Amino acid sequence: MCNTGPHDHGLHTVCIHATNEFLDFSRAQGNDLSTAAPQYDFPGLTEGDKWCLCVTRWKEALDHGKAPQVYLKATHISALEYVDLEDLQAHAITE
């Protein structure tokens, strides 16, 4: 379940199913989510991982046709401040 609050500066509100296509896109945009960053307690993502992604990164991927599928029930409602419910529903995956 994705949660957010005052300390979540990245707005990690969209629960995704990571794909290699998305991870490659994110890396090309300057956000390498595949490489571990132990200093941030970040393990690095691989295809198939479930992850709470920044809503703005998801929107950017959507605008470029690279948006990963989302788990709607685990996505925080505040994501709707940045993306349309219809776009999230169009990319929904069931668990």
Give the model's pLDDT for residue 83: 97
Please give the domain boundaries of the chain with CATH numbers for all domains. Answer: 12-90 (3.30.56.110)
Neighbours of 90 (CB within 10 A): 12
Which helix (H) or strand (E) is 92 found in, with range?
none
Q: What is the pLDDT of residues 26-59, one digit of tens each?
A: 999 999 999 999 998 889 999 999 999 999 999 9
Of residues 23 and 10, more confidently modeled: 23
CA distance 93 to 48: 12
> Mean pLDDT throughout 69-82?
95
For the chain, give the percent of residues with pLDDT over 90. Answer: 82
Question: pTM value?
Answer: 0.90
CA distance 62 to 59: 5
> Mean pLDDT throughout 46-75?
96
Give the model's pLDDT for residue 4: 78
Count of residues for the chain? Answer: 95
CA distance 91 to 35: 25
Phi-psi group of 36: left, alpha or beta (phi > 0 → left; psi -120 to 50 → alpha; rest → beta):
beta
